[in-house]
Amino acid sequence: MAALTSITPTPTSSSSVCPNFRTSPLTISSRITPGCSCPSTLRSGQASKQRLASQNRRGLIIRSAATKPAKSPAEEEWKVKRELLLEKRVRSVDAKEAFRLQKENNFVILDVRPEAEYKEGHPAGAVNVQIYRLIKEWTAWDIARRAAFAFFGIFSGTEENPEFIQSVESKFDKDAKIIVACTTGGTMKPSQNLPEGQQSRSLIAAYLLVLNGYKNVFHLEGGLYTWFKEGLPSESED
């Protein structure tokens, strides 16, 4: 008889960037059946029988390398993030209040959008540290994510920026007054349709900041969309 090979999909958790996409790395088990005629197992006498029995017991397991890395703090459940944000009394402010705080109370606006979006237009004086960046590596997992984005017609997929906190710490001390902003803003306020509010890049960034000891973190409700809509001071970079 020939060798029997079984292929079993093993689901992994979803990507933080593309939450609806799940990879299923293959687990391949190959067992040599009694009487196998494979050249590597053709032996005579009792030694051959013992070797075949030993192979049957052990089997051969090969796992795909396309498995997801361990979950990062940014990938924590939104419910957990929201609880900490509320516990640390992270305030949400609208665009006009954010502008007043920036002007009168030395708050700085931390724009966590990708660098390209920041350069197209941002609040005057805002500082950019992107919380997500274009996928850089070419591991099996990264290739799988690129394929997932391409499936949805997205050819510039992003990943969590592992240097986010390090970059923020190089610009601000832990007592800095920071208003975190992204495009839409998200919200911590419950509603009938969203009983736990809605997660956003700026709220994820705010969570990471308080998790790492920042004490004066605010959040821009309505996002930079409302800042631009209100006609508040903005600038761009060529």
Give me the active site residues, please: 182
Residue type, 65: A
Helix (H) or strand (E) holding 97: helix 95-104
CA-CA distances (angstroms) from residue 15 to 25, 141, 142? 14, 10, 10
Question: CA 122 to CA 225: how far, in whole Å?
Answer: 10
Helix (H) or strand (E) holding 147: helix 140-151
Residue with tokens 């197209």: 120
106: region left, alpha or beta (phi > 0 left; psi from -120 to 50 alpha) = left
Are 172 and 166 spatial neighbours (Cβ–Cβ below 8 Å)? Answer: no
- The structure tokens listed for 24 are 């299923």
Question: CA 20 to CA 18: how far, in whole Å?
Answer: 6
